[in-house]
Amino acid sequence: MKRREFVGLVAGVTAWPLAARAQQGGGLRRLGVLAGYAANDSLGQTLATVLPQDLAALGWSEGQNIHIDWRWASGDPKLYESYAAELVALRPDLLIVQSSPAVAALRRSANTIPTVFIMITDPLGQGFVNNLAHPGGNMTGFSDYDPPIAGKWVGLLKQIKPAIARVALLYNPASTPFADLILQAVEPAVRSFAVTARASACRDDADIDALMKHARDERGGVLVMPEVFTTVHRDAIVAAAARHRVPAVYPDEISTTHGELMSYGIDPADVFRRSASYVDRILKGENPGDLPVQNPTKFRLTISLKTARAIGLPVPPTLLALADAVTE
């Protein structure tokens, strides 16, 4: 056999699995989605609606040239591992993953499948990528919050309740491996506002209620961390904050529709929408390791006057003037 023929044969054998996968299911490209949300959660529903819509706008339609396998972990640590294994076994062309525990689970199950993560806090600090501009490997995506934003949350609490001297960061250690990163980012802000901060681990609704009661007793406030546990337990957090009349800042605008006092953060739908462009580019042959991790570009402050009145806090006009949206 001539050398040229041999090289061509080897190249063909190497490329065959990818070509075969592209043609499986009558030409469908297979995508796997592992989300930390519950399927019936408002953020889960937004993801399930926006992502297919924007993929369709780019020429990728469910049942025509793509098939999407959805897995919803609902914040359950055990489900991340089992669902990651299930999706990898399906041999998808690309994985889409939301939440830090989901990324970690997929990294343990698959090291080579192209992956786009969405709404991940500080992916560099968590070790998911080697570099934001040039991630390398098989993974890239979209972050949601750089840790310094936590300092803005502290400032919002001080504006609405200047007497606050203590701030608790509500998080779940099983789903928030980046809590220390955010606490470190909060420290300069709390020093400038003469406030002390502590990370307060919560594993269930009883812990949430105990945290809010403690915050009430010490006349403090609460920062709700941007992670799956706080999304899944949103109603319990809102109810406990109202019951104990504790001011709290939440990380996403969807929160204020559930009765939260204030939110400052990104528009999740915008991040989901932008992620479709990376899915499109990778399916068309680009290497995820060459696509830079993108940080959020849009932030919004939303205030609920109804909640403020319910817990007895007047909202300063200066703070209202900064708000992008005010709900009654």
* Domain at 85, CATH number: 3.40.50.2300
The residue among 98, 92, 42, 46 whose CA lies nearest residue 66 is 92
Confidence of residue 147 (pLDDT cuts 50, 70, 90): low
- Do 47 and 178 share a domain, yes or no? no
Residues 261 and 184 in one domain: yes
Per-residue pLDDT, 328: 79
* Residue bearing the bigger pLDDT, 197 or 328: 197
Cα end-to-end distance, the chain, whole Å: 79
Is pLDDT at 182 greater than 80 in this prediction? no
Residue 231 pLDDT greater than 70, yes or no: yes
Q: In whole angstroms, what is the distance from residue 47 CA to residue 294 CA?
A: 18
State the pLDDT at residue 30.
Answer: 97
Confidence label for 257 from pLDDT (cuts 50, 70 and 90): low
- For residues 181 and 222, membership in a common domain is answered with yes
pLDDT at res. 254: 61
Q: pLDDT tens digit string along 285-323?
A: 999 999 999 998 888 899 999 999 999 999 999 999 999
- Number of structural domains, the chain? 2
What dihedral angle (degrees, nearest 10) is formed by the CA atoms of 235, 237, 239, 243?
Answer: 180
Query: pLDDT per residue over 6-36, tens digit each?
Result: 333 333 333 323 433 443 444 899 999 999 9
Residue 44 is assigned to a structural domain of this protein: yes
Q: How far apart are CA 233 and CA 235, in angstroms?
A: 6
Give me the pLDDT at residue 20, please: 37
Q: Are 235 and 210 in contact (CB under 8 A)?
A: no
Residue 251 placed within a domain? yes
The model's pTM is: 0.81
Residues 259 and 178 in one domain: yes
**Is the pLDDT reported for residue 2 higher than 70?**
no
Q: Are residues 249 and 260 in the same domain?
A: yes
- Indicate left, alpha or beta for 31 from its phi (over 0: left) and psi (-120 to 50: alpha): beta
pLDDT at 255 over 70: no
Residue 4 has pLDDT above 50, yes or no: no
Task: Give the whole-angstrom CA distance, residue 96 versus residue 68.
Answer: 10
In a domain, 244, yes or no: yes
Nearest C-alpha neighbor of 140 from the set 19, 15, 277: 277
81 and 164 share one domain:
no
Res. 256: pLDDT tops 80: no
pLDDT (0 to 100) of residue 71: 97
Residue 182, domain extent: 149-267+300-327
Please give the average per-residue pLDDT across 206-224, as a whole number. 96
Residues 76 and 109 in one domain: yes
Residues 181 and 316 in one domain: yes
Domain-embedded: residue 18: no
The verdict on residue 116 lying in a domain is yes
- Whether 125 and 217 map to the same domain: the answer is no
Residue 155 lies in a domain: yes
Strand order in the sheet with 262-266: 196-201, 166-171, 221-224, 248-250, 262-266, 299-304, 325-327
Specify whether 211 is located in the same domain as 255: yes
- 8-12, 170-174, 206-210, 324-328 — which is least confidently predicted? 8-12
Regarding whether 304 and 184 lie in a shared domain, the answer is: yes
User: Residue by residue, what is the 3-state secondary structure of the chain?
Assistant: CCHHHHHHHHHHHHHHHHHHHHHHHHHCEEEEEEECCCCCCHHHHHHHHHHHHHHHHCCCCECCCEEEEEEECCCCHHHHHHHHHHHHHCCCCEEEEECHHHHHHHHHHCCCCCEEEEEECCCCCCCCCCCCCCCCCCEEEEECCCCCHHHHHHHHHHHHCCCCCEEEEEECCCCCCCHHHHHHHHHHHHHHCCCEEEEEECCCHHHHHHHHHHHHHCCCEEEECCCHHHHHCHHHHHHHHHHCCCCEEECCHHHHHHCCCEEEEECHHHHHHHHHHHHHHHHCCCCHHHCCCECCCCEEEEEEHHHHHHCCCCCCHHHHHHCCEEEC
Q: For residue 242, is pLDDT > 50?
A: yes
**pLDDT tens digits for range 185-199:** 788 888 888 899 888
Q: Which of the two residues, 23 and 229, has the higher pLDDT score?
A: 229
Domain assignment of residue 213, yes or no: yes
Whether 258 and 160 share a structural domain: yes
- Of residues 8 and 58, more confidently modeled: 58
Question: Is 7 part of a structural domain of the chain?
Answer: no
230, 175 Cβ separation under 8 angstroms: no
